[in-house]
A and B are shown apart, each in its own frame.
Chain A
Amino acid sequence: MVTRVNAQLEWRDVLGAVKVRLNIGRMAYAVEPGLYAVGNPEETSPVLVSANYKLSFDYLRRELGGLDVWILVLDTKGVNVWCAAGKGTFGTDELVSRIKAVGLEKIVSHRKVILPQLSAPGIAAHEVKKQSGFQVVYGPVRACDIKAFIHAGMEATPEMRMVRFDFADRLAVVPVEIVEWAPHVFLLGLAMLGLSGITGVSYDLSLIWTRGFNVFMIVLGAFLGGSILVPALLPWLPGKAFSIKSLCVGLVLWGILVSVLNLALDVWAMLPVILSITSFMAMNFTGCTTFTSQSGVKREMRYAIPVQILLLITGMILWVIAGIGGSL
């Protein structure tokens, strides 16, 4: 059974994309695995293979206007091509069994399937050929190059084979990070707010509204600043490790926040807190990038995490000391 789909996205698809970028229902945004038709494909038409994450599927089909092609959608549990390939769900076994399940050898006369290049971590092309008779042709990294790739006789330029991480790509993945970490940061902000009332003699509730409010805004500012500015400025920030790249951003944020808020003694307590939060968020951005290796991230984490914890504890202690000092 073949489902016919349009190359034109509807407003519902666009709204769906916005929602998953905000982490709303992102893990249940899937299409049914199987064979789809775009235009009026025949037995000689190309077969493009995709993941069943609806965002991946939509990105592919919107680039196929004017073409007559088949799309073979694998069951990747609603995960995008690259991540599913890394996990092995966009893998040799699933591709071979999906080819058989839809009876692809009866639908097309040729024996080629075009896969996104980024599915290669999960697919052994030589194994697919052996097990299904179909030759794997690795297409371009980006769906927007697929037309040029097909028109060039299934030849990719070196440019098409390179993964990029442009400004828009970097910012597109920011909201999910913010939504994921916001609850933890909120709790940290509340803890700092709670510490704000401690004075040399007693616990002063009125300080919650002054010092407490300030520190809450600073935790929030460091979180948002680290989450947005580090990805935005990534290529230009000095350092290779992300936790180091965040230093510049942390210092600038500290400068801005202390000049906006009237902090007096608290100024020095805030520096390690801000550096710790921005560094942690920057380090977590490694998972969103297209170029960090696991060995590299492990090496970075070994020294970064202890420093981040130490900075946070130092900041909290200084914050309490500043509170006691301010009340004397």
Chain B
Amino acid sequence: MKYLSNVTTLALDKEKCIGCGMCEIVCPHAVFSVVDGKAFITDRDACMECGACARNCPVEAITLDSGVGCATGLINGMFGGGGACCGEKTCCSK
């Protein structure tokens, strides 16, 4: 299943990348693959902006606006309750 195309804020700085492969390990949607010591974004539209790659990149080569893709949370945020997602009451029924 894929969500909307051309919307993710994911960006990778090839110059900084040291090819450690952490992004490939932590990504739950196989967005990255490491070839010849450099990471590549191979499936950009699969990115859900969870932020795992950026958090675990030791050289800060990955940037993105991470957050939870949750309409209920965003609505609650708009009305000043609990911020975007995973508030005290709603969201994350998982």
Distance (Å) between the CB of B21 and the closest chain A CB? 11
- In contact, A287 and B69 (Cβ under 8 angstroms): yes
- In contact, B71 and A173 (Cβ under 8 angstroms): no
From B28, B55, B67, B94, name the one whose CB has the most chain A CB atoms within 10 angstroms.
Answer: B94
- In contact, B71 and A284 (Cβ under 8 angstroms): yes
Interchain CA distance A124-B94 in the complex, whole Å: 23
Closest-by-CB residue of A relative to B8 is A293
Q: A86-B50, A161-B28 are in contact. Are A287 and B72 (CB under 8 A)?
A: yes
- In contact, A297 and B56 (Cβ under 8 angstroms): no
Contacts of B74 in A (CB 8 A): 294, 297-298, 301
Q: Is A191 an interface residue (CB 8 A)?
A: no
Q: Is B3 an interface residue (CB 8 A)?
A: yes
Stretch at the interface among A115-123, A198-206, A257-265: A115-123
Chain B proximity mask over A154-178: 1 for CB below 8 Å, otherwise 0? 0010100111010000000100110
Interchain CA distance A284-B75 in the complex, whole Å: 9
Interchain CA distance A242-B49 in the complex, whole Å: 18
Contacts of B62 in A (CB 8 A): none
Distance (Å) between the CB of A11 and the closest chain B CB? 23
The B52-94 residues at the A interface (CB cut-off 8 A) are: 52, 55-56, 58, 65-75, 84-86, 88-94
Closest-by-CB residue of A relative to B59 is A126
Chain A proximity mask over B2-42: 1 for CB below 8 Å, otherwise 0? 11110111000000000000100111111000000000000
Q: How many residues of A contact B (CB 8 A)?
A: 53
Interchain CA distance A160-B50 in the complex, whole Å: 18
Contacts of B46 in A (CB 8 A): 291
Contacts of B84 in A (CB 8 A): 294
- In contact, B28 and A300 (Cβ under 8 angstroms): no
Interchain CA distance A180-B71 in the complex, whole Å: 14
Q: Is A3 an interface residue (CB 8 A)?
A: no
Partner of A291, one of B29, B75, B91: B29
Q: A125-B56, A163-B28 are in contact. List 16 more A-B contacts (CB 8 A).
A: A86-B68, A120-B52, A138-B26, A180-B89, A286-B71, A287-B68, A287-B70, A294-B67, A295-B65, A295-B69, A296-B3, A296-B7, A296-B8, A297-B74, A301-B71, A301-B74
Interchain CA distance A240-B27 in the complex, whole Å: 21
Q: Is A80 an interface residue (CB 8 A)?
A: yes
Interchain CA distance A298-B47 in the complex, whole Å: 15
Q: Is A318 an interface residue (CB 8 A)?
A: no
Distance (Å) between the CB of B27 and the closest chain A CB? 8
Q: Is A241 an interface residue (CB 8 A)?
A: yes
Contacts of B66 in A (CB 8 A): 86, 121, 294
- In contact, B2 and A240 (Cβ under 8 angstroms): yes
Distance (Å) between the CB of A47 and the closest chain B CB? 18
Closest-by-CB residue of B relative to A293 is B49
Q: Is A299 an interface residue (CB 8 A)?
A: yes
Interchain CA distance A293-B45 in the complex, whole Å: 10
- In contact, A288 and B28 (Cβ under 8 angstroms): no
Q: Is A44 an interface residue (CB 8 A)?
A: no
26 pairs from A and B in contact (CB 8 Å cutoff): A79-B86, A83-B94, A86-B66, A87-B86, A118-B52, A121-B50, A121-B52, A121-B55, A124-B56, A138-B26, A156-B25, A158-B30, A161-B27, A240-B5, A286-B70, A287-B91, A287-B92, A291-B2, A292-B48, A292-B70, A293-B8, A293-B48, A295-B69, A296-B8, A297-B71, A301-B74
Q: Is A235 an interface residue (CB 8 A)?
A: yes
Contacts of B88 in A (CB 8 A): 27
Contacts of B92 in A (CB 8 A): 79-80, 83, 287
Partner of A163, one of B2, B29, B68, B72: B29
Distance (Å) between the CB of B63 and the closest chain A CB? 13
Interchain CA distance A71-B27 in the complex, whole Å: 24
Contacts of A123 in B (CB 8 A): 55-56
Contacts of B75 in A (CB 8 A): 284, 301
Partner of B7, one of A122, A163, A173, A299: A299
